[in-house]
Amino acid sequence: MATNKHAIIRYIALDQCFGNPGRRYYIEDLIEACNNALYEFTGVFDGVKRRQIYDDIRFMESEQGWSIPLEKVKDGRRTYYRYYEKNYSIKNQPINETEIKQLKETLLILNRFKGMPQFHWIEEMLIKIESSFNMESNNNAIVGFENNPYLKGLDYFTQLFNAIQYKKVLEITYQGYRQEEQMKSIIHPYFLKQFNNRWFLLGFNEKWNTISNFALDRIIEIKEISQKYIENQSIDFEEYFYDVIGVTVKEEDPVKVILLVSEQRYPYIKSKPIHGSQKMKGKEDKWIRFEYLLQINNELISLILSYGEDIVVLEPESLKNIIKTKIENMSKNYF
């Protein structure tokens, strides 16, 4: 099957041509029909070539496709194409081998969401699809996704998801790890983000007139209130998190962070960058120098500490001192 992402559009266009008894479709007509269909769908004239149409026809005729009953009728030096079975259409045919394979791959991805509160329907849908298409269920997992279905606060996920989608204002009762008492906040929810296998809600906080984030596992109670929802007018959350690691965003500019990475850890950091701004800036003895543009937050500090002796902070001095102090305090716990 063609890997072109627009292949199915061409197959449907060809199917309509082959099934139209009122007109003769020569290869030039088939090319035009496919180009028109692609333009209607994408707004771009894709320029389908003759060879592509021949490849599409061969696939549609194959067992991996639909085994279409295609007749190629000679008309002088030219050939036109039509179905010799009246009322035939690929839309009326059972799912083919290639589609089954693609559907299985899709089901594998959907399985990642099983157990998430918002996606209970997926489990029922998977059973129906496997039953309808006689697909053998593989009980042995072949892909492992990072997920913790026992994480506290996941039962709020559906309510928050719907509040964002339907623009509902919420009163959230929350108690952070370092807070002695619970607090209530009026929140206009905008975004759900996962980091380090935990979920966080981001929304406009009326009390502080800014964006706040709430770990779902620290939420005590959520109430929907009758109040006008304040729309998110300007925040692109991909850009919002661009200069940070994790979910803690401060109202300050990012700074240049310089780290020295040991030779042993270098291949790992190179293949799995700490952040998208990572740049290698040379070698110093047995250390490789990396530079970043980041906000300094708790998530960055925790990440650096997680690498132990394999990472040394050179700049900025403030971050260097934070790491040094934490290491000294840690060492006092071992005697």
Of the chain, the percentage scoring pLDDT greater than 70 comes to: 80
Two structure tokens written together for 25: 């479709």
pTM of structure: 0.60
pLDDT confidence band for 224 (50 / 70 / 90): very high
pLDDT confidence band for 45 (50 / 70 / 90): low
Q: How confident is the model over 150-174, as a mean pLDDT?
A: 87
pLDDT confidence band for 196 (50 / 70 / 90): confident
Q: What's the pLDDT score for residue 3?
A: 42
pLDDT confidence band for 1 (50 / 70 / 90): very low
Question: Does position 118 have pLDDT exceeding 90, yes or no?
Answer: no
| Nearby residues of 87 by Cβ (< 8 Å), 6 or more positions away | 19
Q: How confident is the model over 116-128, as a mean pLDDT?
A: 57
CB 260 within 8 A of CB 269: no
Question: Does position 96 have pLDDT exceeding 80, yes or no?
Answer: no
CB 220 within 8 A of CB 164: no
| Strand ranges in the chain using DSSP code E only, listed in sequence order | 25-26, 70-75, 78-83, 169-174, 183-195, 198-205, 210-215, 219-225, 255-262, 279-284, 287-294, 311-315
pLDDT confidence band for 124 (50 / 70 / 90): low
Pick the range with the lowest mean pLDDT from 34-48, 164-178, 266-280.
34-48
**Residue pLDDT, tens place only, 244-259:** 999 999 888 999 999 9
Question: Does position 210 have pLDDT exceeding 80, yes or no?
Answer: yes
Question: Does position 2 have pLDDT exceeding 50, yes or no?
Answer: no
Q: How confident is the model over 42-65, as a mean pLDDT?
A: 85
pLDDT confidence band for 63 (50 / 70 / 90): confident
Which range has the top average pLDDT, 105-114, 133-142, 203-212? 203-212
Q: What's the pLDDT score for residue 125?
A: 59
Two structure tokens written together for 174: 């929350």
**Residue found by looking up tokens 């919420």 in the block:** 170
| Average pLDDT, rounded, for the chain | 85
**Residue found by looking up tokens 């339907």 in the block:** 166
Q: Which of 277, 319, 242 is nearest to 311 (CA)?
A: 319
Q: Domains, the chain, ranges and CATH?
A: 7-92 (1.10.10), 154-240 (2.30.30.520), 255-331 (3.30.70)
User: What is the spatial order of strands in the sheet that 78-83 belongs to?
Assistant: 25-26, 78-83, 70-75
Q: What's the pLDDT score for residue 127?
A: 58
Check the CA dihedral 281-282-284-286 and report its sign: positive
Burial environment of residue 290 by CB neighbours within 10 A (0 to 12, 13 to 18, 19 or more): buried
Two structure tokens written together for 254: 């990012």
CB 195 within 8 A of CB 208: no
Which range has the top average pLDDT, 112-126, 178-192, 314-328? 314-328
Pick the range with the lowest mean pLDDT from 48-52, 96-100, 219-223, 278-282.
96-100
**Residue found by looking up tokens 């692109």 in the block:** 236
